[in-house]
Amino acid sequence: MSRQQGQSCNMTPNISELFRVFGRIGLLSFGGPAAQIALMHKELVETRNWLSERDFLGALSFCMLLPGPEAMQLATYTGWKLRGTFGGFLAGLLFVLPGACVILVLATLYIFFAELSWVQAAFLGIKAAVIAIVLQALWKVSKKALQGPLAWLIAALAFLAIYVGNISFVLILICAAALGALVFKSPQDAPQKPPKATGNGLGQAAIWGLLWGAPIALVYIFNQAFLLEIALFFSKLAVVTFGGAYAVLAYMTQTVSTDFGWITTPQMIDALGLAETTPGPLILVTEFVALLAGYQEGGFSLMLAAGALALWCTFVPCFLWIFTAAPYLENLLNQPTLKAALSGVSAAIVGVILNLSLIFALHVLFDEVSLGTFGLWPVLSSFNLPAFVLMLLSSALLLGLRWPLGWVLLISTALASALAIL
């Protein structure tokens, strides 16, 4: 990079420029967080010089410490840094809105056409590609998170706890953070002074906390039990979404399919596959799940209410985290205990994503799966050979040849359709 490493850029865009640039980022933000972060770097650091390299990397490190989609929160933070709270809100909203609209259209089409035989065949291709996508995420996260035997041990324990022991995802995160704070903190790390705010973080926390809770209180007052379950579940998810969407998908799948019975595991895999094809953060899969659950519970009107509530409870907390913690950024990044705890969480997330990979693979590759003493077990006679071939092809294209995700999904879907016709 040719940018000056130690200096902040002084260029301040006006609101119309901010709207145009972040609108473009929102429309083009395909391919997951890595591609989205690269796009923002190009637009904000290289092309327009709105941020220095140091500021951008510091903001990225900060967002990776927070629960929620790091790319969306990076957009929100950079908007905040450039134009204050309104700039942050505008940037975050523009990052999410295009994908949310696409998800609404896809969910509607899915509800009315998913039962057609050719659509089911096409979804077999999507599901096979999803396995490869999750394996790719596992590989990327493990390279960063598993530094040393202790990290590997935490990852293994997390996998056994969630897959065999069926222990709560939230409890696993808490234990991993506590263990990480003990084993990863270096004796040479000097204690830091408490963070000093450079803005009104507590005031922002109060405002966004009230906004977050308002619709939850409303559905409670009007005794809307289903919508209250939606609001509370996705609010809980917003608090524990460390490590990206893949880290919570297994917990989400288990809860919505087993505990609540809103949708089935195959439908959850379909939701993930469709969310991968849209711009914006992958956590928009929460909107798809809520839309589908709402329609099955009470028709089209409840579907729209559930989808809107899921979006609200997923993304309003993101604004709360950013606007509350942004003034403390420089000091937060220097807290050794926090860093050590997050290292433990990152290691545990590898085990959680491995659990997700195994669950998805079993449900795609076998038509019948049963729950045994030590987790899920497939019925071997129900092995699905076409799904296995499509999974191998998708993995070879995505992981081996490193083809773009869009092409992999398109090829896998087209081949699945062709196999069904033949």
In the chain, domain spans:
15-98, 99-421
The burial class, CB within 10 Å (0-12 / 13-18 / 19+), for 267 is buried
CB 81: neighbour CB atoms within 10 A? 21
Angle, helices 385-395 vs 117-145, to 10°: value is 40
Q: Is the CB of residue 393 less than 8 Å from the CB of residue 127?
A: no
What's the rounded mean pLDDT across residues 300-312?
Answer: 96
- Provide CB contacts within 8 A for 114, sequence distance 6+: 120, 123, 270
Q: What does the pLDDT look like over 101-122, one tens digit per residue?
A: 999 999 999 998 877 777 777 7
Which candidate, 374, 362, 344, 360, places its Cα nearest to that of 246?
360
Global pTM value: 0.77
- Please tell me the predicted confidence (pLDDT) of residue 7: 44
Output the six-digit token pair for 309.
């509530």
- Provide CB contacts within 8 A for 77, sequence distance 6+: 59, 62, 63, 88, 322, 326
Say yes or no to pLDDT of 5 above 60: no
Mean pLDDT of the chain: 84
Q: What does the pLDDT look like over 173-188, one tens digit per residue?
A: 889 889 988 888 766 5
Beta strands in 37-135 (DSSP E): none
Say yes or no to pLDDT of 243 above 70: no
Q: What does the pLDDT look like over 53-83, one tens digit per residue?
A: 877 877 876 787 788 888 899 999 999 989 9
Confidence of residue 190 (pLDDT cuts 50, 70, 90): low
Strongest mean pLDDT among 32-41, 176-185, 217-226, 346-355: 217-226
Strongest mean pLDDT among 151-155, 280-284, 335-339, 359-363: 151-155
Q: How far is it, in rounded angstroms, from Cα 146 to Cα 136?
A: 15
- Please count the CA atoms within 13 angstroms of the CA of 336 that sit on its side-chain side: 12
